[in-house]
Every structure is written in structure tokens, then in C-alpha cells.
Structure 1
Amino acid sequence: MRIGVIGYGARVRGVINNELKKLDPQLQIAGLVDIQPAKHELARQDGSCNVRVFDTVEAMLEEEELDGIMIGTRCSLHTPMALKVLSSGLPVFLEKPVATSMEDALQLKKGYEEAGNRRVVVSFPLRVTSIVQLAKEIIDSGKIGTVEHVQAVNNVPYGNVYFQGWYRDEEETGGLFLQKATHDFDYINYVLGTKPETVAAMVSKQIFKGTKPAGLRCAECDENRTCPESTTFRTDSLKDDWAYCCFASDTGNEDSGSALIRYENGMHVSYSQNFFARNKAAARGARFLGYKGTLEFDFYTGAIKVYMHHSPRVETYEFTNEKGHFGGDTELSRCFLGLMDGSIKESVSPLEDGLLSALLCLKARQSSVTGTFQPITWE
């Protein structure tokens, strides 16, 4: 396969090198559009020695014969870049969130409908993990009855990435519902198989705020030897990226958020995410409650438990060695390759679902600002 890459970011680079090339060792980056020259050399070092670098997406599409396109830019460019390539008809791997504003979401929806290109894989790996697939299988079997309530949580142990690196810019990220909850909302929608109707949300910023000077870096701070968030003495590859003070006056993003979502059948979901939990406090998963039983899972423990309500029985399923978003990255990559070679006809993570998740996140953010319930509609 010969792919074109728009934005050779860390996420897309990881999917290419850790997943796609393992499934197709001959895969090559044939064309690259990235404003950073260092990324051009990185692609060559990663094995795509003959990659052609282009100034524009249009030039790459015109001059290169490609089997597919991957979009790995920063978040605010996901929609503009997708709109440039959808009409090509090529399979597209699109990073989430698919849009960071309502204006972008509406434009992407319109462009998608006009292009008619259904060969799009949105980077939603959680929905295709072994855990979520089995959870859906059990729920669809009727074992726990119809799901009437969901309690979901995401306590992020690496939350400082959203306050010390480029993610701290809310204009770039669109807020942390779009950065994290978009994954969770997607797998919940997928498992339930019904549509969200209304959302009410609230966010807080209680920890990562302060009066340190704007733009202050850890290396320049007189507290860098005592601050528990200091990156100055890190020895891993994240040291240089996580450079800013998260207690400075320009630190963006909420550090916790919650949403209540009502679905069209009347049931509701409660969801909460937190960005200052650490170590063993990490949790990501959900409880799906029916009248007959409750199914719960946690990605970090790699386990599903099914509690029967009317008998003293608990079923436990355990998963091991699930890498790359708990195994989801492999399945997304397998689908993208299949769309390129024609062996797969439908995306396991279509753009319709990416748009719905983005809409839900955007409405949740609007709710948190206005203090109102927001309908999940495109009007």
C-alpha cells in the first residue's frame, strides 16, 4: 500500500509503525504534507525513504498515485483536511475529534454527504477492542435485559499532558470533552445502538490553575525541584514536550467534567472524567445496568464482570496483552488496509459516528457554558 499522510503527528506515526507496517510490511508513505521539516526526515528514518514531500494536499493528490490518506494534524485542522480529500474517493484514516467547533462539524457533515465517500475510518479504537466487542455481544444476547442505565467514568492518570503541552490551548483542542469523552461517548453509543437526544454537562477547573507567569516553563521555575508536576528532571521522551507550567495564568482546559445524556428510548447515561487522578486511581470503563443484571468493565484492569440480579452468580472475563488502545488500534488498522485493498467494504468506525460523537461533545461543552440542557440536533 502507498499512503499519503497529512500531518506526521505522534498518533499517526504510531499507528503506521506499530500497527499498519506489522500487518503490511511493504506499506510505504508515498506522499507527505507537513509544515515541519523535521517530520519529513522522521518519515524517512521510519523506513519511507522515497517519500515525496508536498506543500499542499492538492498537489499530493494530483501528483501521487495513492491507495489511502491518513490525517494526523493537530485537532483544529482535522475538518479542513478531511474536506480536501473526501471527494477523492480514497479510503481516509481520520484522527479524532473530527471537528472542534460547530461550524466545522456542520461543514464536515455537508462535505461528507456531498462526496459520498463511505470509506472513512475515524480513530475510535475503543469501540473495536476485545472488551467492548464482548460487552456488546453479551448485552445484545439479552442476558442482563434491556440496558436502562449506564454509569461511565474516565479517570485519566496522564492528565498533565493536557496542561503542559500543546493540548493546553483550548482553541486548538475544543475542550476536553472533544479530546477524551469523544472516545467514551462513541463506544457507549455503539454498545447501546440508540441515539442520544439531550445532554446536560458541567466542568470544573480546581487544580490546574494559578498565578505563575504566562508561558513559564518548568526549567525556568524556581519550584521545579519540589513541584510534583515538574518535567525538568524527566528522563523519558516526553520531557521536552511537557515543558509548560500547569499552574500558570495561561493554562487552559477544565480538569474535570461530567455529563448526563438522555437517549431517545428514555434511558440516561451518567459520565464523568477527571484529569488529576494518578497511578492506581486510573479508571476507564462503564456499568451497563438492565433489570436482569449488570455488566461492568474497566480497560485498565482488562476485565468484564456480569452480575446477575436474581441469582448469586458473577461471570468474569479477563483479557491480557491487549496493546495499542487495548487492542483497538490493530482492528482499526486492519479495517483501513482492507478498505484500501478492497477486501473490506464497510468501515468499523464510520464518519457518521464520528460526527455524532463530536456533536454530542460540542453540545456538552455548550451546556457547561450556558447551564442549559442541549438537544443533540444539527439545527
Structure 2
Amino acid sequence: MKIGIIGYGTRMHYFLDRLLELEAGVEVAAVADIDTAKAAKQLAEKGIVSPAVRLYTDADEMLAREALDGVMIGTRCALHAEMAVKVMRLHLPLFLEKPVGITFADLQRLSEAAETSRSEVVVSFPLRNTPLVKLTKEIVDSGRLGTIEHAQAVNNVPYGGVYFHSWYRDEAETGGLFLQKATHDLDCLNYLIGQRPVSVAAMASKQVFKGNKPAGLRCGDCEDNRVCPESPYVLQKFREEEVTGDQCAFAVDTGNHDSASVLIRYESGMHAVYSQNFYSRKAAARRGVRLIGYDGTAEFDFYKDEVNVFMHHTRRVENYKLEAAKLPHFGGDSALALNFIGVMEGKEKSATPLSMGIASALTCLEAERSSKSDAFRVIPAVTAEAGTR
């Protein structure tokens, strides 16, 4: 199976390993990227070199010239929808990085493309594919907890500096941190609850990563770089942490909220709450969900690598310890890769189809609107699905 890649950045470089390690006959035929030299260097690290792979600076040229069995899109977020529509017009299997779009216009274009496309789209939602979430879903669907009537989700991000030190701070490129981060967790909630979200309210704040340093300031040019807790010098020399960029995290142009919370009402009337935070560090990291029914509660935390079940009417607590925390995306990436291979072979349907990507992105966009208006927002229903026409 020959694949083409549009946008060979860090995510695709990383995800390609998951495809290749499955040894399922997948090979990279072509890559379209504005920086072909960088792409060639990264591919060479995997032993993939010209002429085995052809490099293009233009995605349209690659799609016109190459006979491909599938395409993966890993451009910056602002181009996801535009590039996806190009692939969907050719009815090719598509692996699409999240978020599927960053504006309402993006999502409208995708919905319209889906009406006539036979493309089976695999959206990059690894969390719902992880062993932890699959086990929790099994427990929920068993009925042991009763009907889930409340959910509490949290994501305290220990590597949050990346969203203020690097290009992720540019909301014109990313759509903001609801779309960058919450899109995963809200999709996971939708999967576990098994209902459609119908309305949302949100609040966001920026209390830490702000300041009066000049726009465009680099850490190396700042007089405080030897003492600032966010500078690469301090992170490397004293805290032995990975450096994710060198733009000042306390400048006037950092963009992005640094904490936010979302209330979601589902079609049955039950509701869920989700909070995300970007200045938690080390052991304060937490990412998971607590699902509460009348008969019991189930909870999981990706960082603790465990699921706990608390029965409400008997003296019983169950603990399931897994071994997936160190796997890529907690084990979800390998499941995505395997599904995409099955889709290209024509043996499987997408386990994370375009409709799920659009539903999550819609919730995030309406949450962003709500956080600016202090009002509940209705989440439109998603009807069109690629691969069904």
C-alpha cells in the first residue's frame, strides 16, 4: 500500500513509526511539504530516501501525479480542512490529524465534501482507542454502574509550556486551546457517554502566561533568561526538562488561555464538566474521566495507568492496573494505525470517522464563543458522513 503525506511535521514523523512497525506492507510513496529538505532529512532517519519517496512542495501536484492507496494529513491546523477536501474529491482513504477544522467555515466545507465523497476518513482521536478507555467503556456498557448521569473530566497538562513557547501560541494557526487539547477529551466523553452533546457553556482565563515583555522576544535575547522558570537555560540546566521553544512565555503576544472549563448538556438531559490547565507540572499531571451512575462510579487516569470502580450499594472497590502509560498516546496510536491500514485494504470502516471529528470541533468552537459571551451555545447536529455516498 502506497501512502502520500501532506505536511510532514512532528506528528506525522511520529505516527509514521506506528504504521511501519506493524509490517503490513505500507510504504511512503510521496510527501508534500513546504520544507522538502527537512522532510527528506527526517525520512532518511527511518531509512526512507529518494527515489523510493518523491518529494513535492505542492499537494495538488502530488495528488495529480501519484497513484496512492491512502493519504495522511499533518499540516498545521489551519490547513487541515482545505487539504482534506482535496483528498476527499479523489475518494481516497484519509488519515486526518485533529482538529479537522478550526473555523465553522472549515467544518461546513468538510460536511459538504462528505456528501459526495467515498473517502473513509480516520480522524486522529487516539484516546478513545486506548486500553484504559476501552476498558472503561466496557464497564459502562455492562450496566453495572446504572445509567451514567454525570461525568467529570480533567486535563492538567504537565507540558503546557509548548503552547506558549512555540508556534502553538498563534491562534490563527491552531484555533486556540479548546480545539488543540479539549477536542481529544470531549470526543472521549462523547464515546463513553454514548450520547450527542446538544449545548455547551465555557469559561476561559489567562492568569499565568501573560506579561509586558515585547512581542517576538526570544528567550536568548532576554535579560531574565538565567532566572526565568520558563527559559530554556533554566529548564535544561536546573530542571532537566525538555525544551519546547524559545519564544517568551510572558510577552504580550503569547496568545491562548492557560486554563478553561466547559459544561456540556447531552440529549438525555445529563451533563458533563471538563477542565484543562496548562501550568500544572510533574506529579500534578492528571488526565482522565469520572463517570457516575446511581449504582456505581468508574474513573481512570492516563498518568496513573489505572481504572477504579466504586460500587455504591455494596462494600466493593475494584482496581484495574494497566501497562499502557508509556505507549504512544497511551496505546491509542497503534490502534489508529491498524484501523487506517484496514481502511486502505478495504476490510474495515473508520473507527473514528469524520462525523466524530466535526462533532468535537463544533463543541470546541461553540465553547470558544461561549467563553467570550458568557452564554450557553447550541451545538448543531452532524448529519453528513464521508464514505457513505
Question: Shorter-chain TM-score: which interval?
Answer: over 0.9
Decide which moves more: 145-154 or 321-330: 321-330
The offset of 1:305, in angstroms, is 0.4
Name the residue aligned to 1:39: 39
| CA distance in structure 1 between the aligned counterparts of 2:67 and 2:82, rounded to whole angstroms | 22
Contact 2:202 2:370 in 1 (8 A): yes
| CA distance in structure 1 between the aligned counterparts of 2:11 and 2:332, rounded to whole angstroms | 13
Is 1:268 paired with 2:271? yes
Q: 1:237 to 1:35 in 2, by over 3 A?
A: farther
Contact 2:92 2:118 in 1 (8 A): no
Paired residue type of 2:166: G
* SS of alignment partner, residue 287 of structure 1: strand
| CA distance in structure 2 between the aligned counterparts of 1:166 and 1:153, rounded to whole angstroms | 25
Provide, for residues 266-289 of structure 1, a one-character-per-residue CA deviation record: whole Å limited to 9, x for no partner. Answer: 000011000000000000001100
2:252 aligns with one of 239, 249, 260: 249
| CA distance in structure 1 between the aligned counterparts of 2:9 and 2:116, rounded to whole angstroms | 28
| CA distance in structure 2 between the aligned counterparts of 1:191 and 1:143, rounded to whole angstroms | 14
Paired residue type of 2:206: K
| CA distance in structure 1 between the aligned counterparts of 2:24 and 2:227, rounded to whole angstroms | 46
Q: 1:180 to 1:229 in 2, by over 3 A?
A: same
The offset of 1:364, in angstroms, is 0.3
| CA distance in structure 2 between the aligned counterparts of 1:12 and 1:366, rounded to whole angstroms | 30
Contact 2:2 2:70 in 1 (8 A): yes
* SS of alignment partner, residue 47 of structure 1: coil
Please list every run of 5 or more consecutive structure 1 residues that lacks an aligned counterpart in the other structure: none
The offset of 1:224, in angstroms, is 1.0
Identity %: 52
The offset of 1:113, in angstroms, is 2.0
| CA distance in structure 2 between the aligned counterparts of 1:129 and 1:215, rounded to whole angstroms | 39
| CA distance in structure 2 between the aligned counterparts of 1:113 and 1:366, rounded to whole angstroms | 27
Name the residue aligned to 1:331: 335
Number of residue-to-residue matches in the alignment: 375
The offset of 1:192, in angstroms, is 1.1
**Equivalent residues in 2 for 1:198-347 (5 A)?**
198-232=199-233, 239=243, 241-322=244-325, 323-344=327-348, 346-347=349-350
Paired residue type of 1:44: A
| CA distance in structure 2 between the aligned counterparts of 1:114 and 1:66, rounded to whole angstroms | 20
Q: 1:28 to 1:44 in 2, by over 3 A?
A: farther
Provide, for residues 140-167 of structure 1, a one-character-per-residue CA deviation record: whole Å limited to 9, x for no partner. Answer: 0100000000010000000000000000
* SS of alignment partner, residue 326 of structure 1: helix
| CA distance in structure 2 between the aligned counterparts of 1:228 and 1:163, rounded to whole angstroms | 13
Contact 1:69 1:92 in 2 (8 A): yes
Name the residue aligned to 2:385: none
The offset of 1:312, in angstroms, is 1.1
The offset of 1:29, in angstroms, is 1.4
The offset of 1:234, in angstroms, is 5.3
The offset of 1:193, in angstroms, is 1.1
Q: 1:45 to 1:247 in 2, by over 3 A?
A: same
Note the aligned Cα RMSD (angstroms): 1.6
**Equivalent residues in 2 for 1:172-191 (5 A)?**
172-191=173-192
Paired residue type of 2:317: V
Contact 1:28 1:48 in 2 (8 A): no
* SS of alignment partner, residue 332 of structure 1: helix
Contact 1:173 1:179 in 2 (8 A): yes
* SS of alignment partner, residue 60 of structure 1: helix
Paired residue type of 2:55: V
Q: Give TM-score scaled by structure 1 length.
A: 0.96
| CA distance in structure 1 between the aligned counterparts of 2:10 and 2:207, rounded to whole angstroms | 29
Provide, for residues 211-258 of structure 1, a one-character-per-residue CA deviation record: whole Å limited to 9, x for no partner. Answer: 01111111111111111111136558954x511010001111000000
Contact 2:298 2:309 in 1 (8 A): yes
Q: Give TM-score scaled by structure 2 length.
A: 0.93
**Equivalent residues in 2 for 1:125-144 (5 A)?**
125-144=126-145
**Equivalent residues in 2 for 1:132-171 (5 A)?**
132-171=133-172
The offset of 1:47, in angstroms, is 2.3
Paired residue type of 2:40: H
